[in-house]
């Protein structure tokens, strides 16, 4: 009996079966996912989460897949892709964006409307949902700087809720107690500023990122969080690990904080390299690097 038969009936034209993670993740690695579903409405989501509750099948919520490492064994369950939940609304200083809207598209819209506050996070390749979940950021600005509130589905009881920023505990690349929520949308409050200045700053930031990051190879951005009063990339470099490789995975020579898939790496190559880097850095410096990227499936 096909355990996904009801999903297939409910999501005609809105699912893929047996697609490989390497086809859609930024790392370009990872095995077969039983089923990937593309909900388009809150009705779709509630139906799906009720089904998941009833059957106990495993699920993973997936934005633009730019911060995940999916196992070579794939994932026996449902991937819920948010990319079709993507409305956006600009209302004076406020932007409301749904989870599947691309983060950088939102920043571009903000800049074009002369709205300042998150321009330094330009070019982060994730979705709004992913940015809220990770408190993504760059060059001293982060998602929560402008976030006012998040609309979510509480996955414990499938209730809709609005979480105000003041009630959320968050920090650097960290948001507490958010695992049990599906992020539907975020509301962001910006400051009015000069559009030309913002455009120039945005272009500068993009230029810097292209110069400093190994964007010509698949990766998922910085592998580790910044340790207190230090930089992961600096520590990795100082430990002599630039260019260290396992199989087709390599510590980028351009930016040591990135691991790149430079030659048909497997997820297992990347994971082994992550462990090796952590171990060597710990042995040499006593500092434990904390993983920023999210592991999906069994490693």
Ligand X SMILES: Cc1cc2nc3c(=O)[nH]c(=O)nc-3n(C[C@H](O)[C@H](O)[C@H](O)COP(=O)(O)OP(=O)(O)OC[C@H]3O[C@@H](n4cnc5c(N)ncnc54)[C@H](O)[C@@H]3O)c2cc1C
Residue 218 CB, shortest distance to ligand X, in Å, is: 8
Tokens of 138: 């760059």
Which one of 133, 226, 255, 278 is in contact with ligand X (CB under 6 A)?
Answer: 133
Residue 192 CB, shortest distance to ligand X, in Å, is: 25
Closest to ligand X by CB, 60 vs 282, is 60
Scanning the structure block, which residue is given the tokens 């200045």?
197
Catalytic residue status for 173: yes
Which residue out of 222, 226, 233, 278 is catalytically annotated?
Answer: 222
The residues in 162-221 that bind ligand X, with binding defined as CB under 6 A, are 182-183, 213, 215, 219-221
Closest to ligand X by CB, 66 vs 233, is 66
Cα atoms found within 13 Å of the Cα of residue 151, Cβ hemisphere only: 12
Question: Could you tell me which stretch among 110-118, 123-131, 247-255, 278-286 binds ligand X (CB under 6 A)?
Answer: 123-131
Count of residues touching ligand X (by CB under 6 A): 31
Helices within 156-266 (DSSP H only)? 195-212, 232-238
On the 0-12 / 13-18 / 19+ scale of CB atoms within 10 A, 164 is exposed
Q: How far apart are CA 288 and CA 181, in angstroms?
A: 29
Q: What is the DSSP string of 44-92?
A: HHHHHHHHHHHH---EEEESSSSSEEE-TT-EEEEEEE-TT---EEEET
Residue 220 CB, shortest distance to ligand X, in Å, is: 5
Cα 152 off chain centre by:
17
Cα 276 off chain centre by:
23
Residue 39 binds ligand X (CB under 6 A): no
Question: Could you tell me which stretch among 7-15, 45-53, 105-113, 121-129 binds ligand X (CB under 6 A)?
Answer: 121-129
Residues 6+ apart with CB under 8 A from 153: 42, 45, 46, 49, 159, 160, 161, 181, 182, 184
The residues in 138-167 that bind ligand X, with binding defined as CB under 6 A, are 138
Catalytic residue status for 222: yes
Catalytic residue status for 226: no
Residue 93 binds ligand X (CB under 6 A): no
Which one of 59, 66, 146, 266 is in contact with ligand X (CB under 6 A)?
Answer: 66
**Kind and range of the H or E element at 8?**
helix 5-10
Residue 10 CB, shortest distance to ligand X, in Å, is: 20
Q: Give just the sign of the alpha carbon dihedral 243, 21, 60, 76.
A: negative
Q: Which residues bind ligand X (CB under 6 A)?
A: 26, 61-68, 82, 99, 124-127, 129-131, 133-134, 136-138, 182-183, 213, 215, 219-221, 294
- Which residues form the catalytic set? 173, 222, 292
């Amino acid at each position: 009996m096909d355990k996904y038969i009801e999903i297939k009936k409910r999501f005609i034209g809105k699912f893929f079966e047996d697609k490989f993670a390497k086809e859609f993740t930024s790392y370009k690695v990872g095995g077969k996912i039983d089923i990937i579903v593309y909900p388009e409405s809150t009705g779709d989501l509630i139906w799906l989460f009720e089904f998941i509750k009833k059957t106990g099948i495993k699920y993973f919520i997936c934005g633009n897949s730019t911060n995940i490492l999916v196992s070579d064994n794939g994932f026996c369950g449902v991937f819920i892709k948010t990319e079709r939940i993507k409305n956006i609304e600009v209302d004076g200083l406020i932007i409301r964006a749904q989870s599947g809207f691309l983060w950088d598209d939102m920043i571009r819209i903000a800049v074009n409307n002369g709205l300042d506050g998150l321009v330094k996070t330009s070019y982060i390749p994730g979705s709004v949902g992913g940015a809220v979940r990770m408190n993504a950021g760059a060059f001293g600005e982060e998602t929560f700087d402008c976030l006012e509130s998040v609309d979510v589905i509480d996955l414990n009881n499938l209730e809709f809720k609005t979480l105000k920023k003041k009630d959320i505990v968050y920090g650097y690349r960290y948001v507490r107690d958010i695992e049990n929520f599906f992020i539907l949308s975020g509301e962001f409050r910006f400051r009015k500023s000069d559009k030309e200045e913002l455009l120039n700053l945005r272009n500068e930031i993009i230029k810097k990122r292209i110069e400093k990051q190994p964007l010509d190879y698949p990766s998922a951005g910085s592998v580790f969080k910044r340790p207190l009063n230090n930089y992961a990339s600096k520590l990795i470099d100082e430990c002599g690990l630039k260019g260290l490789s396992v199989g087709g995975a390599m510590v980028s020579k351009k930016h040591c904080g990135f691991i790149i898939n430079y030659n048909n790496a497997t997820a297992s190559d990347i994971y082994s390299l992550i462990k090796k880097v952590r171990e060597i850095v710990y042995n040499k410096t006593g500092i434990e690097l904390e993983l920023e990227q999210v592991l999906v499936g069994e490693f």
